[in-house]
Every structure is written in C-alpha cells, then in structure tokens.
Amino acid sequence: MMEVTQETREDWRVVTLRGRADSETADRLEEELRSAVQQHPKVAVDLRAVDYISSAGLRAVLQAARAAQGHSDLAFCSLSAAVKKVFDMSGMQHILKIREELPC
C-alpha cells in the first residue's frame, strides 16, 4: 500500500510518498511522478516515509526520471534508511538527483 500526496511549496511541486513502493504500487507511483514532472518545472519527491522499495519501485522512479529529462528538475529527497540502502546498492545516486533535505 502506498499513499501519495502532492502540494506546492514555493516554486516546487512536492510529491510525498508513504508506504511501500513495490509491484503492487509501482504503476500508480510511475503515473503520479510522470504527471507531476509533466505539469511542473520543479518536482521534489519526499521519500522519508517509504519503508520498502523493490525493483518494480526502482523502475517506476527511473521511468519518471526519464520523463523529466528536458521538462522538469526532479529531485529525490529525505530518503528513508531502507530507500537509501537500495539506492546505494543499485547505484541510483549516480543516475538521479538526490538531496538530503527537501529543497523548499
């Protein structure tokens, strides 16, 4: 189960995720992130409350990052310990813009 909320803070669209990013939630995650990057020039994804991310969740994140190229500044922020571990093991820090804190 994943809860997704969106709000605008300053000039950033903040997408806050809560729960699990897995095969059951990956399609919705990708849709939410793609929609945000298509509609907003700056998107920050708050991952502090994501307690699990699978390969399907990683794929959704990568697809959103591809969709953002040339359209939106996409940053992944405040990674939970579980997400940080998976991102580190998979080399995501070399592909994605990752920030310790939300930029807004």
Per-residue pLDDT of 18-53, as tens digits, reads 999 999 999 999 999 999 999 999 999 999 999 999
- Report the pLDDT value the prediction gives residue 71, as an integer from 0 to 100: 85
Residue 10, domain CATH = 3.30.750.24
Q: Which domain holds residue 29?
A: 2-99
Give the neighbor-by-neighbor strand order of the sheet with 98-99: 2-9, 12-21, 42-53, 73-77, 98-99
Asked whether residue 33 is domain-assigned, the answer is yes
Q: Is residue 92 in some structural domain?
A: yes
Its pTM stands at 0.94
Q: Report the pLDDT value the prediction gives residue 79, as an integer from 0 to 100.
A: 96
In a domain, 81, yes or no: yes
The helix (H) or strand (E) run that includes residue 2 is strand 2-9
Residue 104 falls inside a structural domain: no
39 lies in some domain: yes
Q: How many domains in the chain? A: 1
Q: Is 51 domain-assigned?
A: yes
Per the domain annotation, does 52 fall within a domain?
yes
